[in-house]
Structures are given as structure tokens and as C-alpha cells.
Structure 1
Amino acid sequence: MSEVKISAATRTEFGKGAARRIRRDNKVPGVLYGHGSDPLHLTLPGHELLLALRTSNVLIALDIDGTSNELAIPKAVQRDPLKGFLEHIDLQLVQRGETVTVEIPVHTEGELAPGGYLLEHVLGTLTVEAEATHIPESVSVSVEGLAAGASIHAKDIPLPKGTKLAIEGDTVVIQVLSSQAEEAPAAGEGEEATEA
């Protein structure tokens, strides 16, 4: 996983008014915490942060006030529910070689068996443990040829080397359902059976 370098400044103003002023300048208020240290309140550039967050679990190399460098991963992101812009971010301090618990997106590959089946993502993400500088962006699993009643458990999803599950292996992640049309008899079928 590549690192994204972002310059940040410490901030001493708090509250809604201060946060609004920060956002008016196209910046985002945030907090950096972890490793038992006191939370550090930061101001980050909005556009650069928005681009960085397009990658899930992105590793951010923070240049704080031009005097210290820290590695962090996003833990909580607040967005405006209507406009989608960033309102606040919580960052977790990490170190190289450290193992962290994160959620990574699950993608599917392949086609279901013919029959109009529906694919349900019971979990959209998989909770795993990985080295902080080698967090996978996502995992993929094949659903090729699966039919109604089939399910894929967490233990069935191949993980990259150095990554391990942080949830029960028997947890259902994906299941295949029958379509509603298949479950109900088609109109007229019952009448034809009666006539026969």
C-alpha cells in the first residue's frame, strides 16, 4: 500500500464556530490519537484529504507543522449528508510493523448460475488484522456458478499474505437467494394444472 503525504497544522480553536471557519477555508478539522498519547487536534487540507480517502484504509504520512512526521489511518469520517463534503476525520496513529484491525471491502467475481438468483452481501466489509503499512485495499471472492442457498463464509475468502481474519470464520459474508418470481408460481399455472 502506498503512503499519501499530507501536511497538517495543529489547532487550538474548538467548537462549532471554529469548525465552520476551518471548513470555509476548504480545510477539515480532525483528531489524531493512539499509542496512549493525548489526542492531537489538527487542520487538514480538504481536497488532498478527499483524494486520499478514495482508497480504503489509506496510509497517511502526516507532516505536522513541518516539525514532526506521523503515520496514521482513517478511523471515522464524517461527511455532510446532503453535499458529501468532509466535516471531520478521526485518525489513528500507527507505526511501521504494527498490526492493526481494519475493515476492508469485499468484491465478488464471476456469474451466478442461470436462474435469476440474487446476491446478498450480508457484510460489505471483512474485519481483518494486517500490518499497518500493508493493509489490503480490498479482497475478492468468486461466486461463479453459485445457486440459491449457497453462502460464502469469512473463512472461504482468500486473504493476502500477512493478513488474517479478525471475526469468526463461520460468519456469513455473502449468500445467494432465489428471486421472488421463481418462488411464486407464474400466473395461470394453477389453472392449467386444474384443467389437466
Structure 2
Amino acid sequence: MASEKITAETRTEFGKGAARRIRRADKVPAVIYGHGNDPVHLTLPGHATWLALKNGGANALLEIEVDGSTQLALTKQVQTDPIRRTLEHIDFVAVRRGEKVTVDVPVTVVGEAGPETLVVTESGTISIEAEATNIPETIEVSVEGAEVGTQISAADVQLPEGSELLTDPEALVVNVTNAPTAAEVEAELEEAEAEAGIERDESDEELAEQAEAESAEGDGDASEDGDADSE
């Protein structure tokens, strides 16, 4: 994974008010921890940082230049505004080239499983140890042609060269099961709605069937009355 270069500024103001002023200037407050050093508080350029995180994924690696020196930093926690989706704050861990780190890498399922199957991702991430400069953005798990009953555990997943699996090897990552029928989906939906206390409005088709049944029942009653009169 290539690192993105970002030029930062040392942050000297703290607190909510200072953080709001930083964000209004299209910048992001951040901090770098690690290697037994005191935390380094920074201000990063908003748009450039957003692009770097987008390109680098969940474990983006940045070369942060501040006050004439450069620090390699691994993204650990990103806080975003839930409404505007803008960056609020970023925590980094200082790393060195060649140093191995522990990270959770997202799982991406690829390929088409066999007919009438449902592919269930049981674990969205896999924990590995890898060199800081060689962390994969994602780990692909292929289900091409997989039949019902196929189970892929962490031990079955192919990791990038130089990476070591930390997740329990027997942990289930992907499970291929029978695809539910339309009737089963409808039954599960009705059960969930009943548990939630939701009353479903009858569809036009259901109302038409009900009206047809009532009409047939009415015709039957009229016929019986006619037979009784004739007697």
C-alpha cells in the first residue's frame, strides 16, 4: 500500500471551540500516538486528507510532513459528522518502514456462487499482522461456483505475501446456504412485523381476493334461499 503525502501544521489550540474553527477553515484536527513519544497534535488540510483516506481505505498510510520533518502514520480512528459526512477528527499511530503492525482488513466477496444459493458474509474483517507499508486495502474471498454448504474459514483465505493471520483460523468468514424462497421471505417479514407491532395494509390483490370470496359466499347464500322458497 503506497503512502499519501500530507503537509500538516502543529496545533496549539484545543477544545471544542478551537476544533470548530479548524473545521470551518476546511481543516481537520488530528493526533499522532506511538513509539513512546508524547502525542503530536496536528491540523491537516481537509480536502487533501479526505482524498488520502478515500484512496488508502480503512488502514490508510500517510506521510505527514510537519515543521520540516516527516512521520509515517497509520490511520487508526476516523470521526466523521453523521449528517454531512465531513471529517471531524483523526487518530494516527506512528510507524516505521519495515515495522509490522496489527490491522483489521475488510473482506470483499468476489465471484458468482452456484444457482439457488445465498452467500452470507459472517465476518466483515480479518485481523492480520503485516508490514506497515504493505497493508492490503481489502482481502478478496472468491465464491465462484460455490455450492450450498460451502464454508470458507479464515484459514482458507489467501493472504498477501508477508502477512500473518491473527484471526482464529477456524473462524467462519463466508457461508454459502440455500437461497430462501419467496414464501419463506414473506413469512419471515410477516413474523418480524408482528413482533414489532406493525399492522400491514392489505394489498389491492388481497382486497380483490377477499371481495371475490365474499361475493361467492353471497351468491351461495342466495342460491340456498332460492331453493328454500321453491320448496
Instruction: In structure 2, give the amino acid aligned to 1:63.
Output: E
Q: Which protein has the larger Cα radius of gyration, Structure 1 or Structure 2? A: 2
| Structure (1 or 2) with the greater strand fraction | 1
Q: For the residues of structure 1 that align with 2:23 and 2:70, how far apart are their CA atoms?
A: 24
SS at match of 1:107: strand
Instruction: In structure 1, give the amino acid aligned to 2:78.
Output: V
SS at match of 2:19: helix
Q: For the residues of structure 2 that align with 1:4 and 1:156, how far apart are their CA atoms?
A: 32
SS at match of 2:71: strand
Flag structure 1 segments of 5+ consecutive residues without an equivalent. Answer: 187-196
**Partner of residue 58, structure 1:** 60
| Structure (1 or 2) with the greater helix fraction | 2
**Partner of residue 106, structure 1:** 107
Deviation of 1:179 after TM superposition, in Å, equals: 2.6
**Partner of residue 133, structure 2:** 133
Task: Tell me the TM-score normalised to structure 2 length.
Answer: 0.75
Q: For the residues of structure 2 that align with 1:164 and 1:26, how far apart are their CA atoms?
A: 39
* Count of aligned pairs between the two proteins: 185
Task: Tell me the TM-score normalised to structure 1 length.
Answer: 0.88
Q: For the residues of structure 2 that align with 1:182 and 1:174, how far apart are their CA atoms?
A: 23
SS at match of 2:21: helix
**Partner of residue 194, structure 1:** none
**1:12-161 alignment runs, 5 A limit:** 12-54=12-54, 55-56=56-57, 57-65=59-67, 67-115=68-116, 117-161=117-161
SS at match of 1:17: helix
Q: For the residues of structure 1 that align with 2:153 and 2:119, how far apart are their CA atoms?
A: 14
Deviation of 1:183 after TM superposition, in Å, equals: 8.1
Q: Which has the higher contact order (CA 8 A, sep 6+)?
A: 1
Root-mean-square deviation over aligned CA pairs? 2.0
Flag structure 2 segments of 5+ consecutive residues without an equivalent. Answer: 187-231
Q: For the residues of structure 1 that align with 2:104 and 2:19, how far apart are their CA atoms?
A: 28
